[in-house]
């Protein structure tokens, strides 16, 4: 399309004050009731400066929000694929970034003179104005280059410059093309010029540098953390670790000053509106295991989903949440929003979503920083909100107190935690409880967990090396255990309801406790369970 049509392309994000650092805001969060594709970023179309035509197209080859493309749960993983970046339209590494910075600053200065946006309509108007300014600056730069005897920019260079300047003003700068790409699941940064992405299914490929230096990358992260429109976080030598959700739903984790180089991981949740049936289709679990878990949720029992990093725990929780009756009022409590149930009104119309907030500044007389808001405080506030379920997200340490409060205060809570196996998840949570306060003894921790948790579902991520040098990544449900108080309320007793035998990729029927036979009332297929149990030789 022509450069004039660049001004008419859909805008992507709200902006912060465009007069400060080089990268401004993250992709917009979809409005209430917007389709899932609204969370996938902007459609990125081509354009030319010379009035020529180029077909606008989505670089992904499909709709930006279409995460349900034909796929399999076992996908080849390759360590290198240099061509992939160019094929997917990522900004070329040899772009004139000094020119981009200059044009970004000129556009930012002109926008700042027109005032800061106040609300969604003002931000959209500012973005439209920004497009016009960028077009004008690019025309002038191209004209001056020709007068100086320089070469005419080809279409790819024009397109890349326009994208880069717009992203620098309104988006995540050089990270924006990676965040926009629907095929990217993880972005791994080991310094400004050592960047890799993990594609859906597990294939890893190199990506262009995201800054000109490590210091520029750190400045960018500090800006994103402090100027986020959704939940500002400190990131500085006194706060060297950062956990932040981006407006489009991705999760950013970063560390600097305590590592040789700044390191970043951005996790994009590809499957947001997902059901257990979807996970069955993706070969993550069997229909019978899905039937059991669905009945567990409907019966109001509490579940912990455990697994290694990037094993699919959050995706499994979303599938479980899909089984919550539509009329229930849900409260979600997370350090950073990841479930996003409050953005799924068709499935979950009644959701109170709470997000913890770290404090900043000096510590007060109460030992807390100003502005701190904990999950425990959020839970106390929620007790007046007529909730049917309280769902605490990821439990890494102190969040365990909120998890126990939620599970002991109502029915059907769900949480996740990192662990090597289902029984190991209990040991991990015992340690978390004991570290949360001096009052927590080992016996208390075990009793509290046995009284609170009903079921633990463990998901496994398996990477298999193949003779040709590639690998296969498989995510699957490897076991489901039930948890109950032990004899004389000492510790706990666990039973493997589903278990994957060595070398198998599916958890199959093992032993069903008698007090879980009532799940038949909630849709669990007892006859199919008995048949699979008999086939496996388990009594």
- The residues pairing with 254 across neighbouring beta strands, listed in sequence order, are 242, 264
Are residues 227 and 312 located together in one domain of the fold?
no
What's the CATH number where 81 sits?
3.30.450.90
Are residues 102 and 234 located together in one domain of the fold?
yes
pLDDT digits (tens, 9 = 90+) for 152-187: 887 778 778 888 888 888 877 888 888 888 888 889
State the Cα–Cα distance between residues 392 and 409, nearest whole angstrom.
12
Tokens of 40: 């996938």
Q: What's the confidence (pLDDT) of residue 484? A: 92
Are residues 263 and 288 located together in one domain of the fold?
no
Residue 391: band (very low, low, confident or very high) from pLDDT cuts 50, 70, 90: very high
Selection from 497, 403, 418 nearest residue 448 by Cα: 403
Q: What's the confidence (pLDDT) of residue 46? A: 33
Are residues 257 and 307 located together in one domain of the fold?
no
pLDDT digits (tens, 9 = 90+) for 522-531: 999 999 999 9
What's the CATH number where 385 sits?
3.40.50.300
Domain closes at, from 247, 267, 287: 267
Following DSSP, what letter does each residue of 98-156 receive, concatenated? HHHHHHHHHHHHHHHHT----SHHHHHHHHHHHHHHHHHHHHHHHHHHHHTTPPPPPHH
Residue 258 has pLDDT above 80, yes or no: yes
Element (H, E) at 463: strand 455-465
Q: What's the confidence (pLDDT) of residue 390? A: 92
Are residues 430 and 519 located together in one domain of the fold?
yes
Residue 374: band (very low, low, confident or very high) from pLDDT cuts 50, 70, 90: confident
Mean pLDDT is highest, among 71-75, 143-147, 360-364, for 143-147
Residue 376 has pLDDT above 60, yes or no: yes
Residue 502 has pLDDT above 90, yes or no: no
Are residues 103 and 156 located together in one domain of the fold?
yes
List Cβ neighbours of 193 (8 Å cut-off, separation of 6 or more): 209
Are residues 199 and 308 located together in one domain of the fold?
no
Are residues 406 and 508 located together in one domain of the fold?
yes
Are residues 262 and 281 located together in one domain of the fold?
no
Residue 55: band (very low, low, confident or very high) from pLDDT cuts 50, 70, 90: very low
Selection from 332, 340, 324 nearest residue 275 by Cα: 324
Domain tally, the chain? 2
Regarding predicted confidence, which is higher, 355 or 27?
A: 355
Are residues 142 and 286 located together in one domain of the fold?
no
Are residues 240 and 331 located together in one domain of the fold?
no
Full domain range(s) for residue 183: 3-267
Q: Among 35-39, 292-296, 321-325, 396-400, where is mean pLDDT lowest?
A: 35-39
Selection from 365, 321, 370, 358 nearest residue 342 by Cα: 321
Domain closes at, from 225, 247, 267: 267
Residue 224: band (very low, low, confident or very high) from pLDDT cuts 50, 70, 90: confident
Q: What's the confidence (pLDDT) of residue 92? A: 58
Are residues 376 and 443 located together in one domain of the fold?
yes
Q: What's the confidence (pLDDT) of residue 361? A: 62
Mean pLDDT is highest, among 143-147, 215-219, 261-265, 332-336, for 261-265
Domain closes at, from 267, 293, 323: 267
Regarding predicted confidence, which is higher, 413 or 203?
A: 413
Q: What's the confidence (pLDDT) of residue 350? A: 95
Q: Are 114 and 125 in contact (CB under 8 A)?
A: no
Selection from 178, 174, 157, 154 nearest residue 166 by Cα: 174
Residue 381 has pLDDT above 60, yes or no: yes
Q: What's the confidence (pLDDT) of residue 5? A: 45
Tokens of 325: 């009756």
């Amino acid at each position: 399309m022509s450069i004039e049509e660049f001004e008419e392309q859909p805008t992507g994000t709200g902006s912060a004050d465009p007069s400060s650092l080089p990268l401004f805001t993250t992709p917009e969060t979809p409005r209430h009731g917007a389709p899932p594709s609204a969370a996938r970023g902007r459609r990125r179309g081509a354009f030319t400066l010379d009035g020529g035509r180029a077909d606008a197209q989505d670089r992904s080859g499909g709709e930006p929000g279409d995460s349900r493309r034909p796929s399999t749960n076992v996908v080849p993983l390759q360590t290198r694929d240099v061509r992939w970046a160019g094929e997917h339209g990522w900004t070329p590494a040899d772009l004139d970034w000094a020119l981009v910075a200059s044009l970004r600053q000129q556009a930012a200065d002109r926008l700042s003179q027109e005032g800061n946006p106040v609300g969604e309509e003002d931000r959209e108007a500012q973005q439209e104005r920004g497009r016009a300014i960028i077009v004008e600056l690019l025309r002038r730069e191209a004209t001056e280059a020709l007068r100086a005897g320089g070469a005419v920019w080809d279409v790819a260079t024009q397109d890349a410059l326009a994208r880069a300047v717009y992203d620098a003003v309104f988006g995540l700068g050089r990270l924006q093309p990676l965040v926009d790409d629907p095929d990217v699941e993880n972005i791994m940064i080991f310094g400004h010029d050592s960047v890799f992405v993990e594609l859906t299914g597990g294939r890893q490929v190199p990506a262009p540098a995201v800054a000109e230096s490590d210091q520029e990358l750190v400045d960018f992260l500090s800006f994103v953390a402090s100027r986020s429109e959704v939940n500002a976080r400190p990131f500085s030598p006194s706060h060297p670790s950062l956990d932040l959700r981006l407006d489009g739903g991705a999760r950013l984790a970063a560390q600097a000053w305590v590592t040789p180089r700044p390191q970043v991981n951005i996790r994009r949740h590809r499957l947001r509106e997902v059901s257990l049936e979807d996970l069955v289709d993706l070969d993550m679990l069997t229909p019978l295991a899905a039937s059991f878990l669905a009945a567990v949720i409907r019966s109001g029992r509490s579940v912990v989903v455990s697994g290694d990093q990037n094993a699919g725990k959050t995706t499994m929780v979303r599938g479980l949440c899909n089984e919550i009756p539509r009329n229930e009022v849900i409260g979600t409590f997370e350090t950073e929003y990841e479930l996003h149930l409050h953005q799924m009104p068709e499935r979950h119309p009644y959701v109170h979503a709470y997000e913890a907030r770290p404090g900043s500044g000096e510590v007060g007389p109460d030992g807390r920083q100003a502005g701190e808001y904990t999950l425990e405080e959020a839970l106390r506030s929620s007790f007046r909100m007529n909730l049917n379920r309280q769902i605490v997200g990821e439990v890494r340490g102190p969040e365990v107190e909120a998890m126990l409060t939620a599970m002991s205060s109502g029915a059907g809570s769900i949480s996740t935690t990192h662990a090597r196996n289902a029984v190991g998840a209990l040991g991990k949570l015992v340690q978390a409880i004991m570290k949360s306060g001096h009052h927590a003894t080992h016996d208390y921790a075990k009793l509290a967990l046995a009284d609170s948790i009903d079921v633990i579902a463990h998901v496994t991520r398996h990477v298999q090396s193949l003779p040709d040098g590639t690998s296969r990544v498989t995510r699957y449900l490897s076991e489901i255990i039930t948890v109950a108080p032990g004899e004389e309320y000492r510790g706990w007793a666990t039973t493997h309801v589903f278990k994957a035998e060595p070398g198998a990729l599916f958890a199959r029927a093992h032993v069903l406790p008698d007090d879980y036979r009532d799940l038949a009332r909630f849709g669990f297929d007892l006859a199919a369970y008995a048949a699979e149990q008999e086939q496996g030789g388990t009594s």
